[in-house]
Amino acid sequence: MTWDWGAVADFMPYFWDGLLVTLQILVSGSLISFALGLVWALLMRAPTRWVTWPVGAVTEFVRNTPLLVQLFFLFYVLPEWGITFSALTTGVFAIGLHYSTYTMQVYRAGIEAVPVGQWEAATALNLPLRRTWTVVILPQAVRRVVPALGNYVISMLKDTPLLMAITVLEMLGQARLFAQQNFQFTEPLTVIGVAFIVISYLASLALRALERRLVH
């Protein structure tokens, strides 16, 4: 077996297309998971079981079923009910929904870590509940959970190849397409393997920088 730099050069247009799709999935999926996870966490603190029980059941179901099964369900089953989205939209929503059930737990831990004195101070100042959350509690909670949220971003990155199962051509999908067309597997798979390592490393550096900024 010999390494073919010509194959690498030929693969690069495929790679850039796949990289763009991968980053779209990662950014959009992260935003969905962060926003929806916070919604789940706040709903789980509702004073009535009529809210907490359904939310808990839904999030447990999503967290304990494989992401691939959820992808297949959203992409192949929902159209039978008249609900149809593009493969990319379905993949982004699925990965965001799946990881929102994990970020929910992260937010919940961050909220519970806020000292009781902060709640008491907000009550003593007669702050409305909305301002208590937006000004006092959530800023402190989010600052505590940034590292954990960042770890899930990296996990989402590593799960983006699953979207190839519903025809989304992210990096692995493009590598597979190139390999099948040119019967060269070593070069494209090596390139995307290195790309995943580099992106994960850069993401971890950005996370550390953000963490230091929030601490200071």
pLDDT digits (tens, 9 = 90+) for 99-154: 999 999 999 888 888 877 777 777 777 777 777 787 777 788 888 888 888 889 99
Tokens linked to 133: 């959350």
Looking up tokens 């004195």 gives: 117
Q: Give the rounded percent of residues in the chain with a pLDDT score beyond 70.
A: 98
pTM of the model: 0.90
d(Cα 214, Cα 52) in Å, to the nearest integer?
A: 31
Which stretch of 53-57, 90-94, 151-155, 210-214 has the lowest confidence by average pLDDT?
210-214
d(Cα 189, Cα 107) in Å, to the nearest integer?
A: 36
| Residue 67 scores a pLDDT above 90 | yes
Cβ-count burial 68-102 (b if 16+ within 10 Å, e if not):
eebbeebbeeeeeeeeeeebbebbbbbbbbbbbbb
